[in-house]
Structure 1
Amino acid sequence: MSPISSASHFALFFSFFLLFSTASAFNITRILSNYSDFGSFNDMLSRNHLAEDINNRRTITILAVDNVSPLDSLSSAAQKRVLSLHVVLDYYDIAKLKKLSKKSAVLTTLYQSSGQARGRQGFLNVTSKGGDQIVFGSAIAGSSLNSNLVKSVAAQPYNISVLQVSSLIMPDSVVRSKSTQRPAKAPAPASPAPAPSPEDADSPSPTADASASSPIADGPVADSPEADSHGVASASGGSLAMVRSIRALIPDPSEFLNQAGIAFTAP
């Protein structure tokens, strides 16, 4: 293959790559900016750093609301958790929702991918009740489905779909999630005990006094050092007497030893 042909193939491939990238890329902030009803919702997505997360996805559905006032009193962490529930990690438009195989489905949201959700907190339930009535709600057991589908706002199949719903989905356990509550303050460390003063060190301790005044328990008394010294002295005296007796029997031990064949020189 000639260099010119290779360059042509590369240019063609690169053109298709750019075309595909452009077709699949989207900007949620720019999309919502075309609809004044979602201005506050759009601002909150950007303020809580969710717009960037949304734009980095390839396939996504946004459940937008025109009234975000219930979020005003919440902390930024709680706002982010609730808003993340309104970002579905799949593409759903009205036609797809009407064709749900079992008239109901569980949807995975951006909150589930955050790693903060517990149990089914990060999932939504969507149910088609026939006709044009489609409702959303938390997938937590016992939750009501009270957020109705209003209309389709924008769509870029099969990358992004923006659907308007009637109200925010705000499970109490998500709003008050313990995963981001401020940790309690640790107790202050105990102060070190004061060092004893010289006067305290010189004074006798009560324990020592108590031990000195306590009665001595009955028991065998050990031999005293004085008794041991008497024993040693007695043994030494006995040995000396034995030496004297031997000398009395053998006046000249050297002569006796020489006769026995043992060389001995008296000191």
Structure 2
Amino acid sequence: MKMSVTLSLLLSLFLLIHSSNGYDITQILNKYPDFSTFNSYLTQTNLASAINSRNTITVLVVDNANLAPLSSKSLDVIKNILSVHVLLDYYDVAKLQQLTAASPLPTTFFQTTGLAVGQQGFLNVTHPSADTVAFGSAMPGSTQGSSLVKSVAAEPYNISILQISNAIIPQGIDGAKTSAPAATTPPPPPPAPATNTSTPPAPGTRHNHGHAPAPAPSTRHNHGHSPAPSTRHGHGPGPKAVEPGPTTVHHGPTNTKQGHPTNISPPNQGCCPHHGCHSICCPWLSLGPCCVG
């Protein structure tokens, strides 16, 4: 008796849950063999139960041939990728075509798992042309690599199943870190010009490369000589200075010659009419002609 009551309660609960959303994603996809692989992944990852528990949902399915890139990935990675294909709102073809750049980004089931990084839990929907709807991850730098193929099934405002051309795989969701471009090492700066630490020579100083310094010009003391005449501007050179001649001392009256004598005539040296040819006549004496032998 108790067993029958328990079974009845479980059956009632199942019917209540089933009638609350009115669909079963597994049963719907069983009608389409082209999506058998996608349907199998939903069951293996328990995503089918999560989808059936939602009142409003949109599932973007991919046919078997285009799911081949997922075959080599782990079940956890496959679950994360398929979670991006489950939108937490009802989208049919008409509603997708009405989305604009100002429309909110569609939120996926992956956003509710707490595993999304950045914009991994959102999709970007664009319209390359009037009849084309493109899908891609909202992660910066992602491409719109998938497009709308057709509507598969729909129960208005509860569930919409749309076929897209390729699986949407956000960057980093498969565990592979997106490597940043290698940093370019800037070239080293050019060497600084050599600095001459030696003290520069004073102006007018010639460098002595192994030669003895030139002797300084000797200064001659001018003993008794007149300084060189200065050159006057606009006139010719002045008279040359006359160096004093030797002093001649004679017995008797002394005749000192320093330069040319002033006011006296030089003595006449020659023959004297009184004392012969070896005397000097002294005509300047007041006593008259006097010869000094």
**Bin for the TM-score computed over the shorter chain:** 0.5 to 0.7
Distance 1:172 1:125 in 2: 14
For residues 99 and 134 of structure 1, the distance between their equivalents in structure 2, rounded to whole angstroms, comes to 10
TM score, norm. by length of structure 1: 0.57
Find the counterpart in structure 1 of residue 35 from structure 2.
38
Pairing 1:54–2:26 present: no
CA distance 1:19–1:170, shift in 2 (3 Å): closer
What residue is the counterpart of 2:110 in the other structure? 111
Q: Tell me the distance in 1 between the aligned counterparts of 2:100 and 2:49.
A: 33
**Alpha carbons of structure 1 residues 20 and 132: separation in structure 2 relative to 1, 3 Å:** farther
Offset of 1:69 from its aligned partner?
Answer: 1.4
Output the TM-score relative to the length of structure 2.
Answer: 0.52
Determine the C-alpha separation between the residues in 2 that align with 1:59 and 1:161: 9
Q: Distance in 2 between matches of 1:84 and 1:21?
A: 21
Give deviations 1:22-67, integer Å, cap 9, x for gaps. 3732100011111111011000110111000000001110000003
Q: Report the Cα distance in structure 2 between the residues aligned to 1:120 and 1:30, rounded to whole angstroms.
A: 32
Cα displacement (A) at 1:173: 0.4
Aligned residues of 2:81 and 2:174 also touching (Cα < 8 A) = yes
Identity %: 51
Q: Distance in 2 between matches of 1:38 and 1:154?
A: 13
Please give the root-mean-square deviation of Cα atoms over the aligned residues, in Å: 2.1
Task: Flag the structure with higher helix content.
Answer: 1
What is the deviation of 1:174? 0.5
Q: Which amino acid counterpart does residue 161 of structure 1 have in structure 2?
A: S
Partner-residue secondary structure (3-state), 1:163: strand
Question: Matches of residues 6-17 of structure 1 in structure 2 within 5 Å?
Answer: none
Q: Does 1:158 align with 2:157?
A: yes
Q: Is the 8 A contact 2:21 2:53 kept in 1?
A: no
Counting only pairs closer than 5 Å after superposition, residues 63-212 of structure 1 correspond to structure 2 as 63-66=60-63, 67-102=66-101, 105-176=104-175
Q: What is the CA distance between 1:108 and its match in structure 2?
A: 0.6
3-state DSSP of counterpart to 2:143: coil
Show structure 2 runs of 5+ residues with no match.
1-14, 178-293
- Gapped runs of 5+ residues in structure 1? 1-17, 179-267
- Name the CA distance, whole Å, in 2 between partners of 1:137 and 1:84: 14
Checking the alignment, whether the CA contact within 8 Å between 1:85 and 1:123 is kept in structure 2 is yes
Q: Give the AA of the match of 2:114.
A: G
Amino acid at match of 2:21: S
Identify which of structures 1 and 2 has the higher relative contact order when contacts are C-alpha pairs closer than 8 Å and 6+ apart. 1
